[in-house]
Amino acid sequence: MHPDAPFSLRDSADDHGDDKRPAGPAEEQESAFWTSLAKKTIEDSLLKRKEITGVAKNVIIFMGDGMSIPTLAATRVFMGGENKQLSFERFPAVGLSKTYCVDAQVADSACSATAYLCGVKANMGTMGVNAKVPKGDCNMEVDNSTHVDSILSWGMRAGKWAGVVTTTRITHASPGGAYAHTASREWEDDKHKLADKNGINVDGCKDIARQLVEEAPGKDFRVIMGGGKRAFVPKSVDPKGNRLDGANLIEKWKDDKKDKKGVYVEDLDGLKKLDFANTDYLLGLFEYDHLKYYLQAPETQPRLQDMVTSAIKLLSRQEKGFVLFVEGGRIDHGHHDTLAHLALSETQEFSEAIQAAADLTSEEDTLIVVTSDHAHTMSMSGYAQRGNPIFKFAGKTSEGRHYTTLSYANGMGFNDHTRNPDGTVHDPTNDDTDALDYEFPATVYLESETHGGDDVGIFARGPWAHLYTGVHEQAMIPHIAAYAARIGQFEERPVSSAPAAGAALLPALAALLVPLVGRQLLA
C-alpha cells in the first residue's frame, strides 16, 4: 500500500462500494472458539511431536511439481474452506526447502530432482549429474565421475525394492532424476536427442528411456508407472511412437522380465487385475504423453492413488523394505498454462494419494516426506469475504472492473485479459471463471508461465521426520531420509532405539503447558 493511501475495502473487496460484509461462521465470533482450538492444537501437537528414532524400513518421497505455498492455501478454499487441511498438512514435521539451482535463481524440474533425489545441486536442465556438467554437454555426461546416484539406488544397494510413480511421462524431468544421468532433460528418446544434434555431439549419450530399460538402477526398479509410452515404441511400428532407432523398449523390458514375474499394464483394468503375490516387476504406461488431468481423464486411466496403492502393495512384499518416489506432476502443467482450476484439482488429487499411502503404512517404520521441486507465480490476493469461491472475484479495481482472487505474474492469461482489439482491458465479469480451461490473468505475456523462486514446503511423518524441521537446502531432503533408513552414506550409522532427547518429558510438558496456555489465552 502506498504510505499516503488510506486503507479501505471499498475498491477491492466489496462490489457495492461499502464496507459491510457478511458475518463469518457464528462459532468463530466467540472467543471461546479460538481458545478451545488453541488448546486442542497444542494437545495434538504435543502428541504428534513424539520423535520416532527407530530405523525407517520404508521411505516414500511425494513430490508435488510446482506445488507452491499459495497453491496449498488456494487448494484449501477449493476443497471447501479456508480452514480445511490437506492430508499432509497434518504431518508433525514441517520445514521449508530452498530450490535454486547451481546456475539459476529459479529452478527447473531437472536440477531440482537431482537435489531432492540425489542430494546434490546441479545445473538447470541436467539430471543425475553434478554441476560440472553444463546442459547439453554430452562429453561431460559420459564422464562417470560426474554421475550422482539417487536415494532409490542407495536403497537398492541395501537390499530394498524401489519404484517410481508419476502422472507425467516416466521419462520427464522429475521421475528421470530417480535413474537417469543426462546432460539434457530434453533427451527423453532418440528423436529428441537427435533434434539437439546440430552443433552438439550427442552420439555417445543414451536417451533417458533407454537408460530406464537398459541401465541400472532403472532396469531393476520393481515398479514403474506413469505416462510417456511414445518414448518406448518405434514410429515405424506405432505412428504415435517417437523412436527412430526401431527399438521397442516395452518389448525389451518384457523380454528381460519374462522369467522374473514381470507384468506390463496399460490401463486401470490391468492394474486392478494384478496378482501382487505373483508379480515382482511392474511396468505401467497409461498414456503416450502425460496422463490426462484427473478431472479430464477417461475411466480407463488410473488415478494417482490407484497407482500409489498398487505400488505399495507390491513393494511391501520385500522384507527389507522399499524406497518409492511419487510425483503429482500435472499441478505444474496447470500453472504453466494459467489454468488454476486444473492446478488446484491436481493438488487435491495429490493430497488424496498421500492419504492412501498413510493409511497403508505405519509411521513407526515408514518415513513419508512430501515436498515440491519449485514454486509458481500464482498469487492469491484481494480482500474477498470469507467463503468466497476461489475462482471468483476478489473485488473491483479503481476503474470498476472485477478482478479474480487468483492471478499470475506472467503467462498466457495476459492475452485474454489485457489484449482487447480496441486496446481496452478485459472485464471478466461475465466470464465463466469456473471453467477448467479458463486462463487466469497474467501481468506479463509469456507463452508459458514460469516457475517461482520462493521456498516450498516440506512435510514429514515417521522415523526421524523431526529432522526436516527448519529451512533446508533442497539437497538435504534425501540425506535426511537416508539417515533415517540407514542407507547410502549412513548405512553404518549407529542404531538408536532410545527416545530422542526430551521426548520422555512430553507427557509432563503437556500436563503443565496446556492449562497454562489456556489461561493465557483466556486472560
Choose among 210, 256, 216, 255: nearest CA to 233.
Answer: 210
CB 56 within 8 A of CB 463: yes
Q: What angle do CA 283, 285, 291 make, to 5 degrees?
A: 140
Bond into 92 cis (ω within 30): no
* Catalytic position from the list 109, 112, 316, 372: 109
Residue 117 cell numbers, joined = 533425489
Distance separating the N- and C-terminal Cα atoms of the chain: 34
Phi, psi of 234 (to 5 degrees): -75, 145
Helix or strand or coil: residue 281?
A: strand
Query: What span, in angstroms and rounded, lies between the C-alpha atoms of 276 and 257?
Result: 15
Cα–Cα dist 63/369, whole Å: 8
Question: For residues 176 and 153, what is the distance between their CA atoms, to the nearest angstrom?
Answer: 13
Q: Which amino acid is at 307?
A: M
Active-site residue flag, 497: no
| Residue 327 annotated as part of some ligand binding site | yes
Rounded to whole angstroms, the Cα distance separating 190 from 219 reads 18
Nearest to 283 by CA among 194, 408, 170: 170
Tell whether residue 16 is among the known ligand binding residues.
no
Neighbours of 41 (CB within 10 A): 11
How many Cα neighbours within 13 Å face the side chain of 418? Answer: 15
Sort strands 366-371 and 393-396 into parallel, antiparallel or unpaired. Answer: unpaired
Mode of pairing for the β-strands spanning 456-461 and 366-371: antiparallel
Q: At which residue does the C-alpha cell 509432563 appear?
A: 508
Scanning 367-445, the segments in alpha helix (DSSP H) are 413-418
Whole-angstrom distance, CA of residue 11 vs CA of residue 391: 19
194-201: which pairs have CB atoms within 8 A and are 24 or more residues apart? 194/244, 196/136, 200/136, 200/138, 201/138, 201/139
Shortest CA distance to 152 belongs to which of 487, 492, 486?
A: 487
Consecutive H or E run containing 39: helix 31-48
Describe the crossing of helices 340-360 and 69-78 by its angle, rounded to 10 degrees: 90
Set of cell numbers at residue 95: 520445514
* 332 annotated ligand-binding residue: yes
- Element spanning 165, H or E: strand 161-169
Q: What residues pair up with 366 in beta bridges, in sequence order?
A: 58
Report whether 172 belongs to an annotated binding site: yes
The three cell numbers locating residue 334: 496447470
Q: Would you please indicate which residues are annotated as catalytic (active-site) residues?
A: 109
Binding residues for Zn(2+): 65, 332, 336, 373-374, 451
